[in-house]
Copies of this chain bind each other. A is one copy, B any other.
Amino acid sequence: MRLKVKDIDIATGWPLVAVMNEIDALKLDIHHGDRVKIKKGNKSVIAIIDISESKKTVPGGQIGLYEEVLTKLNVKSGNFVDVSLVEKPVSIQYIKKKLKGKKLSYEEFYQIIDDIIKNKLSEIEITYFVSACYMHELDIDESVSLTKAMVSTGDILKFNKHPVMDKHCIGGVAGNRTTMVVVPIIATAGLIIPKTSSRSITSPAGTADTMEVLCSVCFSIKEIKNIVRKTNACLVWGGSVNLAPADDKIIRIEHPVSLDPEGQLLASILAKKKSVSATHLLVDIPVGKGAKIENRKRALHFKRLFEAISKKLGIKIRVVITDGSQPIGNGIGPALEARDVMRVLENDLRQPLDLREKSVKMAGLLLEIGGKAKKGTGAKKAMKILESGSAYKKMIEIIKAQGGKKIKADDIKIGKFAYNFKANKSGLIVHIDNESISKIAKAAGAPLDKIAGIYLHKHVKDSVKKGDKIFTIHAKNKQKLSYAVNVLKKTDGIIIKQVN
């Protein structure tokens, strides 16, 4: 069928979409979500059809094309294109197979993931895949296949050295920026650790956001290899490279109903590690109210899954379950967290001791599994590296390799508009809620305003006197500060309880 192009001034970044009037769709026996081939000269694209009942949007005889389709075909309004129905991709058969509760093979997962990253599947189709993986949970073999499929549909960062260390935290705990302390310790000890991290998705800061306070975090594969060659390490944003790229699209589909199919979650995490050629991995599962994993039983279940899948992937893994009941470190928000990290590395007296302690423990375990310390002696070695100032020096090396300058904790700028939350009676802090703290820090502007966030003067089990500062909110202007204070006032005392 020959149709006249109508330019629809929108880009979706999603499958290529074209809009047809219902009359033309009926003539070609095309339904909402079907695929058509759109041809102009020797160029052609496959697009998914949206059917319009409105003549205003797309009248009969025309086809509405989105930005990406217009560009690919090099056409503009008024040009004519040829439109024909095409078969659905074979991966839809595999999605249906999984919907029916059957196991999928590596080849079948590969086809689905490949079609997802090549924009061949619609949101509806990917949703069927995600819900099938949720309702018919992947077994170990399927999780392994899915992980491998995610790895091989993206780029892979390769190194000549062995072992390649990595760490991952399941998250949900405010602050907790151990990675930025651990990485320079490990690199100092002579192990390579090419760390890619995410930006904040729902938290006030991700490791990438925090590192970005000190230097750039966006690099190509080639640049990352160079940084690692120079310093044994990197601390970069995973989103700037094409490692296991299917993940982002799957997360986007899970968000509306906040699903987290286990097998798929683990596959996503391990695929990122496998894509940087990690051979040894430390996984931190913080457990506590407000953290992602709220009870020990579920944490143990995840631990077992991680161990089983990693084994089949050839990754040596150590999973630790840690206390996730309250924020770790004093700062919440990119600049405030970066200052904490630098204070720990500088052995500054104002450093948060909980962050120091947890980082040393983590680094110690990595040194042990990486063969740089005997069992039970890793933490001691890590502490020595930290105390000697070598870890700080290594961090400055990494920062410089990533285009930053030598920096001290005190050079880091924090939002000047501040509000102190004070104890209204004397007593003991019994609970600091991760979720509430995150909400307030986000209301203050984090992570977009790097200088915004919260500084905790007190932690759980600390005693306070009436009038003592419990925490300070920082923002870049008065308006955002008052917005955060409003959120604080609505949290209804769940953040901090005091008992006599």
Give A contacts to B, CB under 8 Å.
8-13, 19, 23, 26-27, 29, 31-34, 50, 52-54, 56-58, 64, 67, 88, 92, 95-96, 99, 101, 122-125, 127-128, 131-132, 134-136, 202, 252-253, 255-259, 442, 448
Contact = CB atoms under 8 A, between A and B. Distances in A.
Given A10-B19, A33-B255, A57 B67 contact: yes
A259 B124 contact: no
Contact of A92 (B32, B52, B257): B257
**Copies of this protein in the complex:** 2
B57 A10 contact: yes
A54 B67 contact: yes
A285 to B, nearest CB: 22
A256 B32 CA distance: 8
29 contacts: A8-B8, A8-B9, A10-B10, A10-B19, A11-B53, A13-B54, A23-B448, A27-B448, A29-B202, A29-B442, A31-B255, A32-B252, A54-B67, A57-B67, A92-B257, A95-B257, A96-B257, A99-B134, A99-B135, A99-B259, A122-B256, A124-B127, A124-B253, A124-B256, A127-B127, A128-B131, A128-B257, A131-B132, A132-B135
A132 B256 CA distance: 15
Contacts of A257: 92, 95-96, 99, 124-125, 128
- The CB with the most chain B CB atoms within 10 A, among A26, A99, A256, is that of A256
Top 4 A-B residue pairs of the complex, sorted by shortest distance between their CB atoms: A127-B127, A33-B256, A131-B131, A11-B54
Nearest to A23: B448
Contacts of A253: 124
A92 B131 contact: no
Given A127-B124, A255-B32, A135 B101 contact: yes
Q: Is the interface of A mostly helix, strand, loop or mixed?
A: mixed
A252 B33 contact: yes
Most central of A11, A50, A101 by chain B CB within 10 Å: A11
B127 A64 contact: no
A29 B448 CA distance: 10
A50 B101 CA distance: 32
